[in-house]
Structure formats: structure tokens, C-alpha cells
């Protein structure tokens, strides 16, 4: 039997993820704090609601994907949040990238209300969301995960990493790798600019060897077209790196590479470029080397 599904957060990625699960819903209820971002889903048959609490009252399975930990707090615990209205047995799936401690807080509150929760952050950007090829990193109970597998399968490939919070810890590892990869790719592009190489040929060549990676295949070609539109915004990436660095301090470890990349990205924010895509790191490097 199809479930009534709620979807909160219909931005660059959430809009496509909701689109993919729509056929599995008896009814899809959507909410975004910018209502115009729900219009395309409404045209496909979804019903737009005015608050997370309204979604909680209607749906038995609720997905959330919003920007910052404070947004997640508001969606779940705020005056018009989900925990105001959800019924026993509701399954909550937070696909935002947020703090592991917040994933545990949601899980504890859900259990107290005889509900279930998964933290399930994703990687793959706007392209992965549109094509249904995201990598989904899940924390929670296996029995709950197994119930949600058909929905995850519509959005990409999922793996259960461990108990609640493990999905968010895995996403932090993912972002640490991306930070290192992004600085490598953008430094190579800057070097190739100065060396007057054919950059298209360069990307085609080195992507076939040990340097091959998702960033080189998907974001480097955008840079060559001077396309810095976001598949994933600088502001959101800085938020993720800051969460990872906070976790590092808690665990008593130092990651110099991550620290450097976070500082470089913050210079983009300071220049008013936080809404660019993460490939915008090249702009920061160009400024450093402008003399």
C-alpha cells in the first residue's frame, strides 16, 4: 500500500528528489519556506502546505532536506515543526547535511513519540539529484532502513552506515575528500591557464588516469565555460566543512588540508560569492595569484 509522503525542502536538489519519489506516494505533501519553489511539484500532482507542522499532520513518511542545522532544528523542533503534529509510527528521514549530534537528538525525540528516524545525507549535487544517481549515506535502525529502501532506490544508491548519526559522520568524510579534491582540481586548472594548455584536452587526458574523479568530470568542464552556477553552493559547503572541523575539535584531531580549504572558501563568502557553485574556488585562487 502506498504511503502518504511529506517532503520539506524543494531547492536545487530536493525538488528532483521529491519528483523521483512522487510515483510511490498515495499523495505527496510539500513545503518550502519559499513557496514558489514548490510550483513544479504541484504541477505534477503534489499538494503544497504552509508549514512543517501541516506536513506532519498529513504524512506517515516525511523526508526533509534543508540548508543549515538551524533550519533542521526549526523544521523538527520549532513552533510550527514536525514534532508538534506527527502521529505514532511516522518515519522521519532527514537528508540534510547537519551535525551528527542533531541527528541523535531527532532520533531520541522520534523514539519518545513512538516514531522512527534515519539520517540520510546525500552526495552527487544537482546532476545526481536530477538523474536519480545520488550516493545516500544512512544512519539508523536496519528495520527502518529496509522499509525506506524502495524510496532511496528512486534517488540513487544507499548504504546503511550504522546507528543514528553514522550517516552524518559518513557525509563529513565525504566532504573532507571533496575539499581536498576541489583544491587539487582548481589548482590544476589555474596552472594550466598559466601554462597556456588546451584545457579541454587536459581534462580529457588526466581524467583517464589516476587523477580521474567526479569533480574533474562534472565541475571542471563548467569552469571552462565560465559557469559558476551552483550544483552545490559555496555557503552550504562552508557550513559542511565547519561542521566537520567542529567534530575534529571534539575528537581531538587536526586536519590541515580541510582547514586551509575552508579558509579559502570563506574568502569567497567575504567577496559576496557564497551563492556560487563550489567550482568557484578557482576565483579565490585567481585572486591570490593576480599579481
Positions marked active-site: 171
To which residue does cell 550516493 refer? 135
Q: Please count the CA atoms within 13 angstroms of the CA of 72 that sit on its side-chain side.
A: 24
Q: What distance separates the 2 farthest-apart alpha carbons in the chain? A: 65
The gap between the terminal CA atoms of the chain, to the nearest Å, is 65
| Distance (Å, whole) CA 225 – CA 6 | 38
Nearest to 98 by CA among 121, 81, 124, 129: 121
| Distance (Å, whole) CA 97 – CA 123 | 10
Q: Please count the CA atoms within 13 angstroms of the CA of 86 that sit on its side-chain side.
A: 29
| Distance (Å, whole) CA 239 – CA 219 | 20
At residue 49's C-alpha, the angle toward residues 43 and 52, to 5°, is 135
How far is residue 37 from each of residues 13, 133, 135, 202, 235, measured CA to CA in Å?
A: 11, 22, 24, 38, 19
Task: Judge whether 286 and 194 are in contact, CB under 8 Å.
Answer: no
Q: Using the CB atoms, write b or e for 19-58: b if 16+ within 10 Å.
A: bbbbeebeebbbbbbeeebbeebeeeebbbbebbbbbbbb
Amino acid at each position: 500500500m502506498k504511503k502518504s509522503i511529506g517532503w520539506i525542502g524543494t531547492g536545487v536538489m530536493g525538488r528532483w528528489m521529491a519528483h523521483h519519489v512522487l510515483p510511490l506516494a498515495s499523495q505527496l505533501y510539500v513545503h518550502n519556506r519559499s513557496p514558489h519553489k514548490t510550483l513544479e511539484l504541484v504541477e505534477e500532482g503534489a499538494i503544497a502546505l504552509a508549514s512543517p507542522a501541516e506536513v506532519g499532520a498529513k504524512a506517515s513518511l516525511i523526508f526533509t532536506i534543508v540548508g543549515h542545522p538551524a533550519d533542521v532544528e526549526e523544521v523538527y523542533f520549532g513552533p510550527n515543526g514536525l514534532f508538534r503534529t506527527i502521529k505514532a509510527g511516522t518515519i522521519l528521514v532527514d537528508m540534510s547535511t547537519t551535525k551528527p549530534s542533531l541527528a541523535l537528538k531527532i532520533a531520541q525525540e522520534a523514539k519518545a513519540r513512538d516514531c522512527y528516524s534515519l539520517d540520510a545525507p546525500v552526495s552527487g549535487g544537482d546532476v545526481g539529484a536530477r538523474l536519480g544517481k545520488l550516493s545516500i549515506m544512512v544512519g539508523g535502525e536496519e528495520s527502518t532502513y529496509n522499509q525506506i529502501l524502495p524510496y532511496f532506490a528512486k534517488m540513487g544508491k544507499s548504504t546503511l552506515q550504522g546507528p543514528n548519526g553514522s550517516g552524518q559522520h559518513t557525509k563529513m568524510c565525504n566532504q573532507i575528500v571533496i575539499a581536498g579534491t576541489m583544491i587539487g582540481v582548481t589548482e590544476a586548472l589555474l596552472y594550466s591557464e598559466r601554462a597556456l594548455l588546451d584545457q579541454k584536452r587536459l581534462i580529457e587526458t588526466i581524467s583517464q588516469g589516476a587523477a580521474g574523479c567526479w569533480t574533474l568530470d562534472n565541475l571542471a568542464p563548467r569552469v571552462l565555460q565560465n559557469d559558476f552556477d551552483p550544483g552545490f553552493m559555496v555557503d552550504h559547503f562552508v557550513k559542511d566543512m565547519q561542521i566537520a572541523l567542529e567534530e575534529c575539535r571534539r575528537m581531538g584531531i587536526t586536519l590541515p588540508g580541510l582547514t586551509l580549504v575552508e579558509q579559502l572558501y570563506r574568502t569567497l563568502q567575504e567577496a559576496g560569492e557564497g551563492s556560487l557553485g563550489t567550482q568557484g574556488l578557482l576565483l579565490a585562487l585567481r585572486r591570490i595569484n593576480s599579481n
